[in-house]
Amino acid sequence: MADTDRYGKVRMSVDQSQSLDSIATKRRSSSRSIKRRRFDDELVESSLGTAGSLGKVARARAQSISSPGLEAMSSAATTPASTVTPSSTVSVPTENRQRRTGGSASGRTGGSAGSRRNKRPRHSHSVATKDLGRWKPTDDLALITNVQLTSDLRTVHRATKFSCRFTVQEIQQRWYALLYDQAVSRVAVAAMRNLHPEIVAAVRSRALFSKAEEQLLQTIKSASNPTIDVFQELLEQNAQVFYPARTAKSLYNHWNLMKQYHLLPDQTVQAVPRGEHVLNFSDAEDLIQDGDLGDPPDEAVEFELARSDRLIKKEIRSLENEMGNWQVLVDSVTGISPPDFDNQTLAVLRGRLVRYLMRSREITMGRTTKDSSVDVDLSLEGPAWKISRRQGTIRLRNNGDFFLSSEGKRPIYVDGRPILAGNKYRLNNNSVIEIAGLRFIFLVNQELINVIRHEAARLNLQP
């Protein structure tokens, strides 16, 4: 029998431990209802449920007094092998874990070791491919080429155009990784070898110039106006100094840049005079050579300037042509009353703010808009939102009489008498015309009208 200690725990005997070992070694399989053929190992394991083992389990069950967990396990073990369901809560997770990790049936230790072994190469691969998404093979090629030529990472950062914006620290870290990290350098070299030859040639053609190359270019004077043949000869004589991707055209372009920024040794900068003479703006402007400041002409700007010049000239020409057709002049009314008539004014429509001078035999009144225009814009006198675009017309007949015809929606009042649309009314001197709250006095140039009447009468008397 098993003895109990002071804590109430059960001490298992030797027979009890043997019975538990027999239970642990019992086969555990799926509990699904689909029947399948048994294999040889299952046939062997089914023979474990013998009478001797069952007897030992029964004795262990009788000896267990206060352990509910042992009672449950022993009760499951006392059942026949055909009736025992292998859905053990201990064996199923272990079996599934072994299937996922690919470990042996030894238990949890083998699966964890296998999972660690599987994670190690994956971690090394992530280290090898770090930052490969930002650093393209062309960036690595440009970095290596320019560092070899200039030996200065800050110069490479300022003068090299990469696929994206890198800081000086990122360029320095990438350069150290290419030098000392075998995994990164191996992947980078393999990627650069897979580049197309044309891409490689394009990257090398944009390589920076070394100090030795610029010293050879400085031997050509700035005032000599060299041709490409001169640079071709310089390239052939110093092939060991120049980078293999250099051409005569690239040397010529770089020499022009050095000349533009006054980097050639024969280019002298004019010294600013010092002493008692203070340099003013005009003196400094005289020292500057206009030929050096000339920018290439911008075709787009010149086209826009020419276009605006044509539009302005066209507008001026149209205004000059319309000056002869202006029949009504508008004059502001001030405290000092100017003479109302001159030799060309037939009548005056005088308001409170402006005066409309009638200088043709027919004028139109109304409200000027973008779509329509009239001779007398009544909106200059005051609010004219109730006035029609074409409110009326004033005509001078051959006999010297003025007639007002109404053409708008609202009537025109002449001396208090309304004139509806489609009707006419004779205007006399000092007649009061009221249109939508705006009042005007119609004044007639009697002298000029009398001359017109005598001329008309004379023409009528002639046979």
pLDDT in tens, 298-327: 788 888 999 999 999 998 988 877 665 555
pLDDT at 55 over 70: no
- Cα separations in angstroms, 403 against 344, 399, 406, 443: 19, 11, 10, 13
* pLDDT recorded at residue 172: 94
pLDDT band at 456 (very low <50, low <70, confident <90, very high): confident
pLDDT at 106 over 70: no
pLDDT at 100 over 60: no
pLDDT at 410 over 70: yes
* pLDDT recorded at residue 273: 52
pLDDT band at 175 (very low <50, low <70, confident <90, very high): very high
User: What is the CATH number assigned to the segment(s) 326-457?
Assistant: 2.60.200.20
* pLDDT recorded at residue 190: 94
Which of 141-155, 412-426, 444-458 has the least mean pLDDT?
444-458
d(CA 304, CA 310): 10
What value does the mean pLDDT take over residues 190-219?
93
d(CA 342, CA 331): 13
* pLDDT recorded at residue 379: 87
117 or 138, higher pLDDT? 138
* pLDDT recorded at residue 125: 44
From start to end of 306-411, where are the E strands?
Answer: 328-332, 347-350, 354-358, 362-366, 376-377, 390-396, 402-406
* pLDDT recorded at residue 308: 92
Q: What is the CA radius of gyration of the chain?
A: 55
d(CA 75, CA 167): 72
Taking all residues of the chain, what is their mean pLDDT, rounded to a whole number?
74
pLDDT band at 208 (very low <50, low <70, confident <90, very high): very high
The number of beta carbons lying within 10 Å of the beta carbon of residue 57 is: 25
Q: Using CA of residue 324, residue 330, residue 334, residue 337, what is the dihedral sign?
A: positive
What value does the mean pLDDT take over residues 388-404?
90
* pLDDT recorded at residue 231: 92
pLDDT at 155 over 80: yes
Residue written as token pair 């009398």? 450
pLDDT at 4 over 50: no
pLDDT at 275 over 70: no
pLDDT band at 132 (very low <50, low <70, confident <90, very high): low
What value does the mean pLDDT take over residues 240-258?
93
Cβ-count burial of 192 within 10 angstroms (0-12 exposed, 13-18 middle, 19+ buried)?
middle
d(CA 4, CA 58): 20
pLDDT at 404 over 80: yes
Provide the pairing of β-strand 376-377 with 362-366.
parallel
Cβ-count burial of 301 within 10 angstroms (0-12 exposed, 13-18 middle, 19+ buried)?
exposed
What value does the mean pLDDT take over residues 263-292?
66
Which of 101-115, 301-315, 377-391 has the least mean pLDDT?
101-115
Residue spans of the domains in the chain: they are 14-88, 94-127, 129-205, 211-260, 296-323, 326-457
What value does the mean pLDDT take over residues 204-208?
93
pLDDT at 401 over 80: yes
Which of 52-61, 149-158, 181-190 has the least mean pLDDT?
52-61
* pLDDT recorded at residue 446: 87
| SS3 call for 310 | helix
Contacts of 21 (CB under 8 A, 6+ apart): none
pLDDT band at 289 (very low <50, low <70, confident <90, very high): low
Question: What is the DSSP annotation of 231-273?
Answer: HHHHHHHTTTTS-TT--HHHHHHHHHHHHHTT-STT--PPPPP
pLDDT band at 413 (very low <50, low <70, confident <90, very high): very high
Contacts of 46 (CB under 8 A, 6+ apart): 27, 38, 81
326 or 281, higher pLDDT? 281
What value does the mean pLDDT take over residues 405-415?
91
> Which has the closest alpha carbon to 143: 156, 155, 133?
156
Provide the pairing of β-strand 328-332 with 390-396.
unpaired
Which range in 2-6, 287-291, 306-310, 318-322 is most confidently predicted, on average pLDDT? 306-310
Which backbone phi and psi does 167 adopt, to 5 degrees?
A: -90, 170
pLDDT at 424 over 80: yes
360 or 124, higher pLDDT? 360
pTM for the structure as a whole: 0.35
pLDDT at 202 over 60: yes
d(CA 382, CA 415): 20
* pLDDT recorded at residue 385: 84
d(CA 171, CA 155): 11
298 or 229, higher pLDDT? 229
* pLDDT recorded at residue 278: 58
Q: How many CA atoms lie within 13 A of 338 on its CB side?
A: 13
> Which has the closest alpha carbon to 349: 372, 327, 370, 368?
327
Specify whether the CB–CB gap between 103 and 114 falls below 8 A.
yes
Specify whether the CB–CB gap between 223 and 268 falls below 8 A.
no
d(CA 81, CA 49): 6
